[in-house]
Chain A
Amino acid sequence: MRIKAKMAGVASGAALLVAASVAQADVLFWSTQAKPVEEAQSMRENVLAGHGDAVDYQPNDGGPWLTRLNAELQAGDGTIGVLGALHGDFSAMNPDDLVDLSDMGVGSASETFNNLAMLGTDSAQYIPWMQASYIMAANKKALEHLPEGADIDALTYDQLIEWSANVMEATGEAKFGFPAGPKGLKHRFFQGYLYPSYTDGVVRTFASDAAVTAWETFLELWAVTNPGSTNFSFLQEQLLSEEVWIAFDHTSRLANAFNERPDDFVAFPAPAGPTGRGFMPVIAGVGIPRTAPDMEASKALVAYMLSPETQIATLRATNFFPVVDVALPDDLPPAVQAAGGAVAKMSASPDANPGLLPAGLGAKGGDFNRVFVDTFERIVLAGQPIRAVLDDQKVALAEIMNETGAPCWAPDAPSDGACPVE
């Protein structure tokens, strides 16, 4: 009897507490960005606290983010006020599910970004929010091993390989780090850096002879790459633990290294190949789903995110750079200064060959990335012959392009209709 009474007590207590949970009316900011706990905390305390209305900032993994959003769209009744995500996340959505934001009068200073944000329609489906890029970082101990005559701000891929080989000879360990881990952003390296630098294209030139050279070069680089790289997803960790001395990664995935030990690391531009110094921006945007509970409040929050002060606060919180014209203050964190310098040098270099994010692929964006990851795994990890793998993967790539009808984007030459794989 005693047990029964206890259990009844627990049950009724639980029921009471359930009834006591109250709903709030904050604007829900449903984001895939600024997910690490420190960044999320900083978004809440330093960025969103300045907005008039209370904002509930909730960063999520991509899976739950999309599932919840789709559920609300299907049910036709939502709690999400504002979406924060990468360009790729938005382009995978149906533009009809996003509120048209053209009449808001806010946008990025870059017309390219604003055009991307239209998602193939003729009005803004989301507003560019912040940008980042991929750069190189090195431990200062590695600098003495730089090949003779090499300028760290104007490296070539061959010099990078030679440098990494020198370090390997001196230390006995392969100390170049590459984000080939499960959550690593390796596909962006191939799409935005290796291919543009060697083939002056991504889709058209996927299986060209120049692409074979590119992969041969990458194999040389892989020979002096830390074999643990297939587990590396955030190179800041390996830089800090000194498993790796030279690294390529997303600026925000290198930030902790610079912030924790600013005097030990240098940031520098990505290397150049025969067709220039390929590099790629990363764009995150803010949008409003058509099920937002309070449209005015959502729009007010979007406008707030684009104001210059918020953009600088966001830069401090997330290491993502502003998309509007702002004067950057001098007291920025070390990671921001280092990355900002490297990105500026990269885009200002005489041989700069900027690529764009894949556009017009819609829901096939993931499959597009998969082609590059598979090619990497087959050529580099499984050691299959380059020509055969490229001819094989080319079919998968052509299928994606034909299915989506996506036209070519820079640095590929423009196309009428779907971008052809030549």
Chain B
Amino acid sequence: MSEATVDAGPDDPRKAGKFVYIAAVVLLCAWVLVPLYFLLINTLSSPEAVNAFPKRFVPEFDLGSLTFFAGFEGMLVALKNSILVAAITMVMSITIGAPAGYALSRFDFKGKGLFRLLILLTRAFPLPLLALPLAVMFIRTGLDDTVFGLALVHTTLAIPFAVLITFSLFSGIPIELEEAAWTLGCTRLTAFTKVVFPLILPGITASAIFAFVISWNEVFAAAVLTIENRTLTAFLLQNLDTSPLHLKFAGGFILVVPALIFIFAVRKYLFAMWGIANR
């Protein structure tokens, strides 16, 4: 066998396959990394270098743009609000979404198919349409301009993903596992927490990431429903599109970094889902 591979020469289909595989991996990595790299370079460049062409490939470590944002009033408060809203959105969308996903996969009830469809409906209406009545209601109920109120809206947006992701995960776990746990002295609840929950943790992480990203990126509701307690996206993104190029890059960088840090922090739970954890 080994001789055959040596003799096969450059036309070996396996080699070609490997080449395609590596090329695809490189391309996919570049797809993600090159824009991030350019974002970093331009963030660390002076305005002249940002406007110059051709673009540089090495940052010149000019901290002017970042220093500007360091002195930008309200940035840190906005960052804190963003993290808070995203965290509450994550917790709420999973506390509500996971039981719904469990029910969908384990129980048969009337209108189950319709329910699965309806759950997507919260994404069917554009926020600019919903924002006005929502804002009126929030002002009347006192939820207006609170982190919790905004998190409620974001939770609504994130729930479909939480439900559908956990639904498919629960469906992938044989009911026999749970039944075995019941026969060994578990109640329905403890069978869930001790057997099923650890198995679906990666899926929970995935829906948590979805919830986080949805909340982190949402601008319109955040801009309308919060005033003093603005999120970073509402605070910065609206103002960036009309700002000079070097500040656009720096602002974009500031918006991207916390999300990247979060995804890196939870990545090991996410990878576990694809069976490559602990290797």
Contact pick for A35, options B128, B132, B239, CB 8 Å: B239
In the complex, A171 has a CB within 8 A of chain B: no
In the complex, which residues of chain A have a beta carbon less than 8 angstroms from the beta carbon of B107?
none
| Cβ-closest chain A residue relative to B236 | A37
B171 CB within 8 Å of chain A: no
Residue B145 interfacial (CB < 8 Å): yes
Q: Are B244 and A18 in contact (CB under 8 A)?
A: no
Which of B193, B224, B234 touches A67 (beta carbons < 8 Å)? B224
A67 & B135 in contact (Cβ 8 Å cutoff): yes
Binds A, one of B36-44, B84-92, B117-125: B84-92
Which residues of B lie under 8 Å from residue A260 when comparing CB positions?
47-48
Choose from A17, A59, A67 the contact partner of B238 (Cβ within 8 Å). Answer: A59
* Cβ contact within 8 Å between B220 and A36: no
Q: Which of B48, B51, B132, B229 has the most CB of A within 10 A?
A: B51
Is A63 in contact with chain B by the CB < 8 A criterion?
yes
Within 8 A of A (CB), among B192-223: 193, 197, 201, 219-220, 223
Closest to A3 in B: B197
User: In the complex, A19 Cα to B146 Cα: how many Å?
Assistant: 9
**A34-49: which residues lie under 8 A (CB-CB) from chain B?**
35-38, 40-41, 44-45
Residues of A within 8 A of B243 (CB): 36-38
Residues of A within 8 A of B197 (CB): 3
Whole-angstrom distance from the CB of A290 to the nearest CB of chain B? Answer: 15
CB distance from B147 to the nearest CB of A (A): 5
Question: CB distance B84 to A77 under 8 Å?
Answer: no
A 1-14 to B, binary, CB cutoff 8 A, 1 in contact else 0: 10110010011001
Contact A10 B91 (CB under 8 A): yes
Which residues of the other chain, B, contact A183 by a CB distance below 8 angstroms? 241-242
**Residue of A with least CB distance to B197:** A3
Tell me the smallest distance from the CB of A374 to a CB of chain B, in Å: 22
Chain B residue contacts of A7, Cβ below 8 A: 91
Residues of B within 8 A of A24 (CB): 228
Residues in B with CB closer than 8 Å to A41 are 68, 71-73
Say yes or no for B140: interface residue by CB 8 A criterion: yes
Knowing A23-B145, A37-B243, A44-B73, the reply to whether A71 touches B135 (Cβ < 8 A) is yes
Among listed A215-223, A234-242, A302-310, A353-361, interface-contacting one: A234-242
Q: Is A208 an interface residue (CB 8 A)?
A: no
Tell me whether B263 is interfacial, beta carbon within 8 Å: no
Say which residue of A4, A18, A38, A64 sits within 8 Å of B84 (CB atoms): A18
Q: Are B136 and A74 in contact, CB atoms less than 8 angstroms apart?
A: yes
Which of B48, B223, B251 contacts A60 (CB under 8 A)?
Answer: B223
B contacts with A, residue count (CB < 8 A): 51
The prevalent SS among residues of B at the interface is helix
A412 contacts B by Cβ under 8 Å: no
Is B227 within 8 A of A77, CB to CB? Answer: no
Q: Restricting to A181-232, which residues have a CB under 8 Å from any CB of B?
A: 183
Shortest distance between the CB of A5 and any CB in chain B (Å)? 11
- Given contact pairs A10-B87, A71-B136, A241-B51, A64 touches B224 in the complex (Cβ within 8 A): yes
Cβ of B148 within 8 Å of any chain A Cβ, yes or no, is yes
- Chain A nearest CB from B231 CB (Å) reads 12
Chain A proximity mask over B139-166: 1 for CB below 8 Å, otherwise 0? 1100011111000000000000000000
B247 within 8 A of A: yes
Cα distance, A23 to B140, chains bound together (Å): 16
Contacts of A70 in B (CB 8 A): 132
CB distance from B53 to the nearest CB of A (A): 6
Contacts of B103 in A (CB 8 A): none
B53 in contact with A241 (CB, 8 Å): yes
With contacts A64-B223, A75-B139 taken as known, whether A18 is within 8 angstroms of B128 at the C-beta atoms is no
Indicate which residue in A10, A23, A63, A241 contacts B128 across the interface (CB closer than 8 Å).
A63
A418 to B223 CA separation, bound complex (whole angstroms): 38
B131 within 8 A of A: yes
Cβ contacts under 8 Å, A18 to chain B: 84, 88, 146-148
Among the listed B140, B148, B230, which residue makes an inter-chain contact with A77, where contact means beta carbons less than 8 Å apart? Answer: B140
Determine if B132 and A14 form an interchain contact, defined as CB atoms under 8 angstroms apart: no
Once bound together, how far apart are the Cα atoms of A64 and B132, in whole Å? Answer: 9
Nearest CB on A from B35, distance (A)? 18
Chain A nearest CB from B34 CB (Å) reads: 20
Given the known interface contacts A60-B223, A67-B224, the answer about A36 and B147 at a Cβ–Cβ threshold of 8 Å is no
Task: Convert B63-83 into 0s and 1s, putting 1 for each residue whose CB lies closer than 8 angstroms to a CB of A.
Answer: 000001101110000000100
Cβ–Cβ contact B224 & A71, under 8 A:
yes
Closest to A70 in B: B132
| Distance, CA A71 to CA B139, complexed state (A) | 8
Question: What is the distance, in angstroms, from A28's C-beta to the closest C-beta of chain B?
Answer: 6
Pick from A23, A75, A241: contact of B228, CB under 8 Å: A23
Instruction: Using known A-B contacts A37-B240, A56-B228, A61-B223, determine if residue A1 contacts B84 with beta carbons closer than 8 Å.
Output: no
Contact B128 A67 (CB under 8 A): yes
* B193 touching A77, Cβ below 8 Å: no
- CB-CB under 8 A from B240, the residues of chain A are 37
B181 contacts A by Cβ under 8 Å:
no
B259 at the interface (CB under 8 A from A): no
If the complex has contacts A18-B88, A60-B223, are A36 and B244 also in contact, measured as CB distance less than 8 A?
yes
* B38 nearest CB across to chain A (Å): 15
List of B residues within 8 angstroms of A256 by Cβ:
244
Inter-chain contact B145/A1, CB cutoff 8 Å:
no
B255 within 8 A of A: no
A133, CB-defined interface residue at 8 Å: no
Bound complex: CA of A365 vs CA of B72, how far in Å?
Answer: 34
Contact in complex: A4, B193 (CB < 8 Å): yes
Query: Within the assembled complex, what's the spacing in Å between the Cα atoms of A92 and B242?
Result: 23
16 A-B contacts (beta carbon < 8 Å): A3-B201, A10-B87, A14-B87, A18-B146, A21-B146, A21-B147, A23-B145, A37-B69, A37-B243, A38-B244, A74-B132, A75-B135, A75-B136, A75-B139, A237-B51, A241-B53
8 smallest CB-CB distances across A and B, nearest first, come from: A71-B135, A64-B223, A75-B139, A36-B243, A240-B51, A36-B242, A18-B148, A37-B243
